[in-house]
Amino acid sequence: MSKIKQRVLSGIRATGHLHLGNYFGAIKGMLALQEDANFETFYMVADAHAITTPYKVEEFRLSRLNVILDYLAVGLDPEKSVLFFQSAVPQHFELAFYLSTLISVAKMQHLPTFKDKVKQHPENVTMALLNYPVLMAADILLYKANQVPVGADQKPHIEVAREIARKCNNLYGTKFPLPNFFNLSGEYVPSLTGEGKMSKTVVGSYINLSDDLKTIEKKVAKIPTDSGKGEIRELEAESDQHQDIVYIDDSGQTSKGVKSLMSLIELFVGQEKRKEYEAEYKKDGLRYAVIKKNLAKLIYEELLPIQERRRELAKRTDYLANIIEDANQKARNVAEQTIAEVKEKFALSIVT
């Protein structure tokens, strides 16, 4: 008898090119779970989430397709994963409404992700923005997902989904599994500026999966560094998002850029190399120009095959249309079943 597989659901907003933060924070985990026979993987283009912040309609048409192309280029496989569009499955919005009855406005207003968006777009504090985590909970629960591969910034949203699932199960007797945060490595990829995380919305903070070698070299060269020699202090981490290491050079300056550089080195070359560099920092000093050039080369080597596959895939429009239609239908089949169950439990089914 075949074992019942656990479900996995994740998504990436269609808001432009994917960057290394998305790659390490989400995609690496998505790939690992796709290759694990214990899981059934559903990966969507979060196009409805993308329109919760202001966007340009013409660019958006392309961005939606770009996410699918990126998914395929990094190695997500339509034979193994359901690669679909969130907006093609209307049950996401239906379930989001039902679930919105289970969580308070105050809770939503206090989420760090909501507060950040309010700061970024004070003129655009809409109901859709407030409802963002509820729609995300619906995305996850609609597929009864056990694992959600995402970056650390999404942890508060997974918590909301768990709280909603728990309440729904208690109040209505649904059987939603409590979804788990899944991450293998790189749950927090820092910004190239040294301030905060790598983010699509912060200029100069990211390396795109589509960047060429020259662009990567330029971006890595710009990571602010210091004199190359000094001491390293490990502080008590204020949050559970990342370890707080401080690099203080011999003139007493603290460099957050060096921390970003070291994190990228760890991601691309491994923890051992980072440790070696840290030992040199404390002893003879580092030569950043050489280190940065090598790092840029390694990043490019990782991205080149993805870029080549992507170029080939972009030409195969019929193939893309077919796999998308097929995946949307597969997603709708699962979604319909869950909605029927939820409506029954909420006493919203048609009376016969």
Which residues make up the interface to ligand TYM (CB under 6 A)? Answer: 9-13, 21-22, 24-26, 46, 49, 136, 139-140, 148, 150-151, 153-154, 186-189, 197-199
What is the DSSP secondary structure assignment for residue 24, as one 8-state letter? Answer: I
Q: Is there a contact between 216 and 299 (Cβ–Cβ < 8 Å)?
A: yes
Q: Is there a contact between 103 and 160 (Cβ–Cβ < 8 Å)?
A: yes
Give whichever of 148 and 286 is closer to ligand TYM, judged by the CB atom: 148
Q: How far apart are CA 150 and CA 146, in angstroms?
A: 13
Cα 261 to Cα 86, 188, 264: the distances in Å are 35, 13, 5
Give whichever of 21 and 230 is closer to ligand TYM, judged by the CB atom: 21
Q: Give Cβ neighbours of residue 206 (< 8 Å, ≥ 6 apart).
A: 19, 20, 21, 191, 192, 198, 199, 200
Give whichever of 139 and 226 is closer to ligand TYM, judged by the CB atom: 139
Q: How far apart are CA 31 and CA 208, in angstroms?
A: 18
Give whichever of 46 and 165 is closer to ligand TYM, judged by the CB atom: 46
Least CB distance from residue 231 to ligand TYM, whole Å?
Answer: 27
Give whichever of 187 and 211 is closer to ligand TYM, judged by the CB atom: 187
Give whichever of 29 and 78 is closer to ligand TYM, judged by the CB atom: 29
Least CB distance from residue 156 to ligand TYM, whole Å?
Answer: 10
Give whichever of 205 and 255 is closer to ligand TYM, judged by the CB atom: 205
φ/ψ of residue 253, rounded to 5: -85, 135
DSSP codes of every residue in 319-351: HHHHHHHHHHHHHHHHHHHHHHHHHHHTT-SPP
Q: How far apart are CA 221 and CA 243, in angstroms?
A: 24
> Which residue has the closest beta carbon to ligand TYM?
25
Neighbours of 319 (CB within 10 A): 12
Least CB distance from residue 341 to ligand TYM, whole Å?
Answer: 20
Least CB distance from residue 44 to ligand TYM, whole Å?
Answer: 7
Give whichever of 154 and 255 is closer to ligand TYM, judged by the CB atom: 154
Neighbouring-strand partners of residue 44: 11, 84
Least CB distance from residue 321 to ligand TYM, whole Å?
Answer: 23
Here the tokens at position 20 are 């290394």
Least CB distance from residue 189 to ligand TYM, whole Å?
Answer: 4
Neighbouring-strand partners of residue 40: 7
Least CB distance from residue 48 to ligand TYM, whole Å?
Answer: 8
Least CB distance from residue 136 to ligand TYM, whole Å?
Answer: 4
42: closest CA among 182, 159, 140? 140
